[in-house]
Structure formats: structure tokens, C-alpha cells
Amino acid sequence: MKSINLKIHHKMKEFSKIYNAILQINLKNIENNYNYLKKAAPNTIIAASVKANSYGLGSDEICKTLYKKNCRDFFVATLKEALLLRGKYKYVNIYMLNGVNHLESFFKAFNSNIITVINNIDQFLILKDFFKINKKRVKCCLHFDTGMNRLGLKLKDFNKHIFPFQKNLEIKLVISHLINSEKKSFYNDKQLKLFHDIKNKFHFSKKTLFSLGNSNSIFLKSKFHFDMIRAGGFIYGLDLTKKKKSKNVLSLKAKIIQIEVVKKGRSIGYGAKYITKKDSIIATLAIGYADGLPRKYDGFVFYKKKKVKFVGNVSMDLSCIDISYIKNPKINDWVEIFGNNISISVFASKCNTITYEASSKIGSRVKRIYH
């Protein structure tokens, strides 16, 4: 453990010369979280959702880590994400959740062995046009709407349009999406019943797999697990359930670049929304709303074993904290925005959002450091 901490310390020292904000990503804890899900549902495939650059963590390193743990099923949102992943991994299943809206895009997906998710009849008609041209059986995934009312086929549309065409399809997977997977809900039971009704329609396709749940659904009863769970947030330590079983993965830190004594009655930041009530020592951090902090963030950092409050509006590149009670503060010291001392859950709640959005919004100029 000491050797690992020493390595991290040396990395911090090295990157502090170049970067003012860093996101530390604990790959070992990603492995632990993935293993936890596999043990919790031993008879179910644990696929990984790596869309949006793996929720902001950086897909290259995340996919490499999960691949080493024998993950072979990955979900992305767009064709660009799918093609980037296929360029690195030839023998994995890649599912493109948003589907395609152009025949040209479907050609690219098909030629790269990417499994397109069909979300509606318009997308199915593109697939059908492709078959007319190529006369090749088409590999796909069907997404049914069981209550989200966002994307997804209706059962009546399947019966009318897709079922008559099913001999020309290789339906690898049938999915839907729970509305309230992080807790017990009557919506879950309602969706489960409808998904079983859908599953019963596929007696013609014995090799088709079925998936209803995301990470959080693993903590519901096993009847929600089916053949595959599409895990995302839990793997990355962004647990939305009250069980908090996942290990922390992320630590966002920013550097102090200025320390000044500000007299009583002076304003801090844009809009003069904060006025000092006494003479104060104010530290300026090199992190702002371009890096993932909300403009009106009302939270804390952790510095020298104490919580220190943000003051004034956050600007694009900078933010301020009151360090009046901190002994021996120094320029170039690092403070923790969230991590092991202030959880990302607390950070997200202070941002009036969830952990998934908080991690996804961390800006590209924040250096990702893996350990």
C-alpha cells in the first residue's frame, strides 16, 4: 500500500508542474466493482456501458481494464463511439444504443460488426432497406419501451412490422429499461410483467438474450436479472442506491494558484454575490465551470484535513475558497473537490444532480490520472 501511495505522490508532483486540475481514477476499484456485480449475479452476463467516454472517466483505460476482467459486451450511444471501440477490440460485442437514422450509417455499423439497437419503426425500415440491397441476414438488438416513453418499440409495432420479417434478422438481444431501478417501485413490477410478455413472443429465436436492468437493478430480486445486466454507474463508483456497495473510484483535485488577504466588506467573484464579513484569507483555485463545477456551487473542498467553503460565484476557469482557518496554506497545494473525504454523491447533491451527470461533465482539460 505504501508503494502505491508513493507512486501516486510522485505522479502528483510530476503533473503539478503542468496541470492545475486532475481527476484521479482508481482502476483497481473499478475491477473490484465489476467483480462485485459478477458475484451478485453469477448466472448473468455483466456488460459494460462505456458511452459518453465511460461517463467522463476516459474509455481507453476503462475498456482496457474491463477487457482484462473478461468483459466482452460493451454498450455505447453513437456510431462514432462504436467505431472507436471496434478499432481497439476486434472480438467483443458492441451494441449501439441510439441506433442509426441513415442507411449510410447502418452500412458502416454492419461492416464493422457493430450490433445496432432498433428503437423504433423508422430505424427498422432503414435495416429493411439494407436487406433489400444486400440480401444479408442482419444482426441487431431490439429495444422495447415498457414505460420509459423515451426510446423503444411498442409491442404492436413489433407484431405488425418486425415479426413478419424476423427470418431475415439475427436478433442477438432484446432490451428494455427500468424507470426506477435504484429502489423498489410498482413501476418495476409493471415493467417486469410487460417484459415477460415481450419475451414470450420470441419462442422462434432460441439464441436471443434478454436484458431489462442496469447496474442498480442487480440489487432488486434476481427475477430482474435475465441474461444480461447493462452496468455503468456502479462500476465507476457512482452508486445511486442507498446500499452504497461500490468502492470509490474518482477523486477530483484542483491547485491553489493564489492566496490573498481580502479586507472585510469586499466582494468575491462575478456579480458581487459574496461579501466578506471580516478580513479573510482567500485562495483561488484553477478550476471552474468549464471543468465541471456549477457556477453557483455552494459546497466545500477538503484541504489539510478540514472542509473549506467555496465563496462567490464560480467563473469559467477559477473559483475561490475561504482558508482563513487553515495553517500554513501554500500556492500549488492541491485541494479535494470530491474523492475519499467528500464523496461524489455529496458533490452531486450540492450540484442538484446525480453522480452520473457530475462525472460526465468533468471537462476535457482536467487531466485524468490512472492508478
Q: Is 95 a catalytic residue?
A: no
Q: Which residues pair with 18 in a beta bridge?
A: none
Q: Is 51 a catalytic residue?
A: yes
Burial class (CB within 10 angstroms; exposed 0-12, middle 13-18, buried 19+) of 81: buried
Helices 27-40, 59-68: crossing angle, 10 deg rounding: 50
Rounded (10°) CA dihedral 274, 275, 276, 281: 50
Active-site entry in 51, 236, 297, 356: 51
Give the CA distances from residue 112 to residues 79, 83, 116, in Å, rounded to whole numbers and listed in that order.
10, 7, 11
Q: Assign 137 to helix, strand or coil.
A: coil
Lookup: cell for 55: 461517463
Element (H, E) at 99: none
Element (H, E) at 293: none
Burial class (CB within 10 angstroms; exposed 0-12, middle 13-18, buried 19+) of 160: exposed
Give the CA distances from residue 106 to residues 8, 102, 138, 244, in Å, rounded to whole numbers and listed in that order.
44, 7, 10, 40
Q: Please report where in the chains the cell 477538503 appears, as a residue.
A: 302
Give the CA distances from residue 18 to residues 15, 366, 367, in Å, rounded to whole numbers and listed in that order.
5, 11, 10
What is the bridge-based pairing of β-strands 267-268 and 300-303? unpaired
Active-site entry in 68, 223, 243, 270: 270
User: Cβ distance 4 to 371 under 8 Å?
Assistant: yes
Query: Strand 213-214's sheet: what is its strand order?
Result: 209-211, 169-175, 138-143, 115-118, 93-96, 73-76, 45-49, 228-231, 213-214
What residues are labeled active site?
51, 270
